[in-house]
Amino acid sequence: MSKYMIMSKERLAKSIRNIPDFPIPGIQFKDVTTLFKEPELLQELSDILYEMYKDKGITKVVGIESRGFIMGPVLATRLGAGFVPVRKPGKLPAETVEISYDKEYGKDTIQIHKDAISENDVVLLHDDLLATGGTMKAACELVGKFNPKDVYVNFIIELKDLNGRAAFNPSTKIDSVLEL
């Protein structure tokens, strides 16, 4: 990794806003919107993500609702790939495929359009934060139903103390821009 990339990552990490007790008491929320509002930080984040995946042959970037919808399309554009949203039920207009999964506080369901991914695609799943890994693990399983050529998983932030990687199959290719 270049000196520029290390300095950029340090700058990005310092720019993240911490919100105590959000959304519930005891949670220290990592607010990534601070990375998006400053043009220089947004460009640095875009450059780092592009460098991570430019040689992987990505054909589709799958963004997880809702913060995966911010950098997902930016990254797809830079990679010359398409963008596919994964959403909660009732938000996608065409025929969907869905998966339900357990969360810390109940069940949830996510959906993707039935025609969104083909077996010839190389897919990059993107979201803002890896905490416990439940939603992204479900998204990986959902994308896996399409049997793409290859799948990569990316987060802007990984909260190392929560050990979210443990939720995934050890062969899952997971990268994070920042480890906090």
- Catalytically annotated residues: 67, 104
Phi, psi at residue 146, to the nearest 5°?
Answer: -90, -10
Q: How many angstroms separate the CA atoms of 179 and 124, rounded?
A: 19
CA 47 to chain centre: 16
Q: How many angstroms separate the CA atoms of 169 and 137, rounded?
A: 9
**Quick check: 176 and 48 in contact, CB under 8 A?**
no
Q: How many angstroms separate the CA atoms of 25 and 11, rounded?
A: 28
Q: What contacts 48, CB < 8 A, 6 or more positions away?
A: 5, 8, 9, 12, 177
Name the DSSP letter for residue 177.
Answer: E
Q: How many angstroms separate the CA atoms of 4 and 138, rounded?
A: 34
Coil vs helix vs strand at 150: strand
